[in-house]
Amino acid sequence: MTSTDKVLTQGFQQPLITVSAVSELKFLGFNISAYPNPVADELTLKIDRDNLHGLQFILSDMNGKVILQKNITEKVTAIPFNQLPSGFYILKIIDTVKELKTFKIVKE
């Protein structure tokens, strides 16, 4: 459908929404968040879990090239983005071998 100033097409349209969580393991029992998204200088990764043993994050570009991989030792972790070019990145949170949550991060 079209009018003089609007075009409506089939599907769900939300132009101001940024999708950040791409996948998440069901029934984790705790929260994992990454903010702000879009990010300029530093991304904050927050995990509401007491036992962080075996947790790590993997930051990669959209081609799958690993940029940064570290063990998570604190409930709040700062991930630097200031040296990275603008674009899209994938942040995976892993518990030993199983993927808990994946975020699509936008670098301004």
Domains and CATH numbers, the chain: 30-107 (2.60.40.10)
pLDDT at 67: 97
Note down pLDDT in tens along the chain; length 108 residues.
566 666 656 554 444 444 455 666 677 888 999 999 999 999 999 999 999 999 999 999 999 999 999 999 999 999 999 999 999 999 999 998 899 999 999 999
Cα distances (angstroms) measured from residue 82 to each of 5, 56, 78, 86, 93: 39, 21, 12, 10, 21
pLDDT at 28: 80
pLDDT at 24: 64
Sign of CA dihedral 81, 20, 89, 32: positive
Contact 91, 103 (CB under 8 A): yes
pLDDT at 52: 94
